[in-house]
Structure 1
């Protein structure tokens, strides 16, 4: 017999709680029809919807069908970053006849490393074949130590511990770390080479009137590890849209770094205020290069081609302009965007890169500037396809996030990232140990470089820059035909001047790692 509250059995409390929820759903809440018509069950439906991406990853989707990165791709990154077995047994499960499927053509007798070759000592050492800023005779040219580097992801978009982990891992391997448009933060300052991304809001290099050259010069002078500047025109996730860092993610520290007020969304306008046409942009680039001594490039997604044509013509005429061009594929990235922008605005990487490269090739500029490729290329076969097209460097973003624990929950824009990678929430960040995660990124980028080189050698070359458009073929669908990329995209890439890897490693402009 029940005499006191403590005598009430536990199951009665549960039933009472459920009854209260039913009463609330039916009589008091008006927002959700499902919960009104199906109390209790409606709550379960919304709970499952919230964790839908995670459930589909492990229960519903097969190894190859999920996007943006399927399970097979994620597993390869995870295994590589943890130094686990990343091999594949019992053959491939790919559909060779799928349109666009890539075949890399190996040589009957590949490239055999001489006994004294640097890659005998370090099988992942592969610097960029070109030197950024050399053609325009900048005061401080820069040769990236690694052909794979970290793409622009801002502190604020990523958590402090995530940025710290990536920078420390980049330092250990020798690759550079792009800041993203959120400016240079304390977490980019652990010693890795850094490319400072300058977006439309000029975060970190602004004053009350907009862009501040004095602030930029001060930043680069005080931080000698800054090796270059990247002027962001647009990004693949939302070209022409600008960006928003929600007020909830703007901490006191982010406010100070970006030089923006607290309690407000950090808005990146759709367009730059420092210039409004191609000649003005080139003058702006030259001014930054002159005042800092650093190479300056541009980053952009690709849509209409008339301004690319204008830029190439002006560069050929004046000998001025960007030292490097980063082409961002429309596949999107860490930035959140409206569905129409993410799905339909800007070209995917393959078409974007080849169209722009071909323009600069026609103006005899392809061998004079450095082409950086970005857009789901953080896998050996995709990177090599980009090199065959004319890319000199690969930038990875989401693949780098995966290497430090991202599970593709697709909650980057909500501040509730469950792994702490893309949130300012202190509790969620607490699960990231930069000592461990930096080692994970180091392992991933080292493995990626190593496997890129192994396939390169199988094709008969010493360096990926030597791959041609005829070394990669693409499936034309289920008609049992393939054709080389030179025919698919209508050009042969310009040969890159190259002696050997040992010469690259001896360059006085080599960044990151030390010559072997």
Structure 2
């Protein structure tokens, strides 16, 4: 009897093992055959699903298996690895040689036969920065052991006589900084509070830098670390608006009274989205809605431009009013498109003898939390094309020594920063490099609120992945490593400070090893490199 029962159960089990898969296969076959959405599934039921599986896995397969060290956009594997290694180990060492494609067109630093000696550098190395670095104990195929240790880093500050002073002759409270590298505009909302806090604390530890709030307004998270802040004001006026959406001078004065806020930036444009900003509804939490004074859980779309002014003269008047009421420097952020339009703007500044305290030149290759394909790919000149154009036009109209240029757009390594300085920038902004330092893995889902590492998301569950007290050290280490690398390139170029990088320190190599001066390559006149600070 017992044996018969067991045989029956076994038969049923075997039947289910074959019947259930057969039934599922049968259902899937007829579902695919009859559906209207996918053509390939109508002709190849079930088998056609392999296409969609591989399509879904494609980005990860390319990133981790198929992309070579120099391929992959917006950052290749070499650049991504550089940020990670600099942040975790404060190291820029490589072995055997460079993987750069030296046959392709590109910029190169013009080294000298007689480099600067280390003791000749204009640099301040006190006080030391207390941080944590990792050391690898064992690195095998399936095991990796490392430990974290406390360390002290040389800060690589500019000496006081070389520091950048913004608004020295225009406002009551000029902004002074002893570093050339800061964090570009990234709003709370585009990034989560964990990421903003980790960045604030890490930048504050490093010192000699600044943090741009992005157009989403100043928040308590930006102030968590002891870091200087540039508050960005976009056309949406978030943080400085009335209930009706008009500009609020009362709110502006409140922000100007915050000690950590050192300057303001009017966002006329952004490289990756030359229209107004966008934040998806799923990112707009109750907290973000309160900060921005908008409705929660609804898309946020900023106007394409400010309603407070319609031309350059009105913009300059508005800037002057902001200076007088806030007492702090005011700059603008632009994206260069039409050269004649930029020239008209600079010409009017010269005629009016009224110039913003700084101009951020954002390349069309810059980053964004959300943009439209057509804008990100085609609108706005890239950084290295836009930057010398603005620099040379300001020299032409004799206002270059009255302001500062901040460059932004894919400047995540010391060599790119040195090139930007050589092409006319006084300072540089970095956004995505700092995102990588706090854990970004280039998943490219910033617009979905589904960032797998908790950086570009406001989802509390996903943000648990980002440990603030760990990532703040990565941010600090990455920034200090950039500054050290920049000084190394200054040594190679034969100057004693990165502030002396100029057009003669960079060359452009075309195919067939044709070497050109940058002025020839850009088809610009070789202007004297006049900067705002003293002439060295």
Would you say same fold, with TM above 0.5? yes
Which sections of structure 2, spanning at least 5 residues, go unmatched?
Answer: 1-6, 129-153
The residue number in structure 1 matching 2:114 is 108
Per-residue deviation, 1:339: 2.2
What does the per-residue CA deviation read over 1:132-185, in whole Å, with 9 as the maximum and x for residues that have no partner?
A: 10132x111012232111000111111111111111111111121101111112
Q: Which of 255, 262, 265 matches 1:230?
A: 265
The residue number in structure 1 matching 2:157 is 125
Q: Which has the higher contact order (CA 8 A, sep 6+)?
A: 1
What does the per-residue CA deviation read over 1:389-424, in whole Å, with 9 as the maximum and x for residues that have no partner?
A: 121111001111111111111111111112111112
The residue number in structure 1 matching 2:237 is 202
Q: Which of 151, 155, 159 matches 2:192?
A: 159
| Structure 2: distance between partners of 1:336 and 1:278 | 28
Per-residue deviation, 1:75: 0.6
Per-residue deviation, 1:497: 6.4
- Contact 1:242–1:270 (Cα < 8 Å) also in 2: yes
| Structure 1: distance between partners of 2:19 and 2:262 | 64
Q: Which of 230, 255, 259 matches 1:219?
A: 255
The residue number in structure 2 matching 1:505 is none
TM-score by length of 2: 0.87
| Structure 2: distance between partners of 1:431 and 1:39 | 39
- Contact 1:156–1:423 (Cα < 8 Å) also in 2: yes
Across the aligned residues of Structure 1 and Structure 2, the Cα RMSD in angstroms comes to 2.6
Per-residue deviation, 1:318: 3.1
| Structure 1: distance between partners of 2:125 and 2:363 | 31
Per-residue deviation, 1:306: 3.3
- Contact 1:404–1:438 (Cα < 8 Å) also in 2: yes
The residue number in structure 2 matching 1:289 is 323
The residue number in structure 1 matching 2:493 is 459
The residue number in structure 1 matching 2:227 is 192
Higher strand share: 2
| Structure 1: distance between partners of 2:496 and 2:280 | 47
Which ranges of 4 or more aligned residues in structure 1 deviate by more than 6 Å?
A: none
| Structure 2: distance between partners of 1:347 and 1:171 | 32
| Structure 2: distance between partners of 1:6 and 1:364 | 91
The residue number in structure 1 matching 2:138 is none
The residue number in structure 2 matching 1:327 is 361
Per-residue deviation, 1:84: 5.9
The residue number in structure 1 matching 2:179 is 146
- Contact 1:111–1:458 (Cα < 8 Å) also in 2: no
Per-residue deviation, 1:17: 7.7
Q: In 2 relative to 1, CA 4–186 (structure 1 residues): closer, same or farther, beyond 3 Å?
A: farther
Which sections of structure 1, spanning at least 5 residues, go unmatched?
Answer: 502-516
| Structure 2: distance between partners of 1:82 and 1:231 | 34
Q: In 2 relative to 1, CA 286–41 (structure 1 residues): closer, same or farther, beyond 3 Å?
A: farther
Q: In 2 relative to 1, CA 116–16 (structure 1 residues): closer, same or farther, beyond 3 Å?
A: same
| Structure 2: distance between partners of 1:52 and 1:273 | 44
SS in structure 2 of the partner of residue 367 of structure 1: helix
Per-residue deviation, 1:498: 5.8
